[in-house]
Structure 1
């Protein structure tokens, strides 16, 4: 591509969604620079404590979650954005009653996770 489309990267939902029509899946190496996780977590669910050697950004689309970032707990809902610095332990749990939907942006061309629990 040339002109205004140079460097453009696009992916269709059917290419990342693990279940057609649902907000759940992942893309690694998007644009060669970031990886994305499209989270769909039922109330009470979420990943255990972990860290990454790069920053991770959470954008909440729907539902609510309790994020534990290092020693701090933050409740976030639709439209809220959190950024976890590189190397900082974190986890989250969907609070309900609605299903959590978020976009988790990893500042890396592939996922690197250090699981702590």
Structure 2
């Protein structure tokens, strides 16, 4: 298979792992999919800085409590909750609980495009 080929099938977690931790970055275009995602495990207080995307993002909280800021509004989302933010609106999430936060950020794009505002 050459570097421009994509195929359907299972993507091993190790193939899309971010660094040495458990978090993963799935870029759909690399695997023949029309969506991308981040699977994130954050300790209390951890989370990305304010950023935006030119497409909507949807978060599914798998475990823990997330403080999600979308524009000027902030919400708490717990395991089982789903939140969504529109395109071009700055947002962020942090682990607002005492234990591990496990969350999936679904990007409605085959590529991940994000612009951080804190940089």
Which of the five TM-score ranges fits, normalised by the shorter chain?
Answer: 0.7 to 0.9
Q: Secondary structure at the match of 1:60?
A: strand
Describe the superposition over 1:78-112 as per-residue Cα deviations: whole angstroms up to 9, x where unpaired. Answer: 01001111111101110121111011111111111
Task: Say if 1:57 and 1:81, in contact at 8 Å, map to a contact too.
Answer: yes
Distance in structure 1 (CA, Å) of the matches to 2:78 and 2:14:
26
1:82 maps to what in 2?
Answer: 83
2:40 maps to what in 1?
Answer: 39
Q: State the TM-score, normalized to the length of structure 2.
A: 0.82
Q: Secondary structure at the match of 1:82?
A: strand
Please, what is the CA RMSD of the aligned residues? 2.0
Describe the superposition over 1:7-43 as per-residue Cα deviations: whole angstroms up to 9, x where unpaired. Answer: 95432333334478x6411110243311110111110
Which aligned segments of 4 or more residues in structure 1 are displaced greater than 6 angstroms? none
Q: State the TM-score, normalized to the length of structure 1.
A: 0.83
Distance in structure 1 (CA, Å) of the matches to 2:84 and 2:32:
20
2:24 maps to what in 1?
Answer: 25
Unaligned runs of 5+ in 1: 1-6
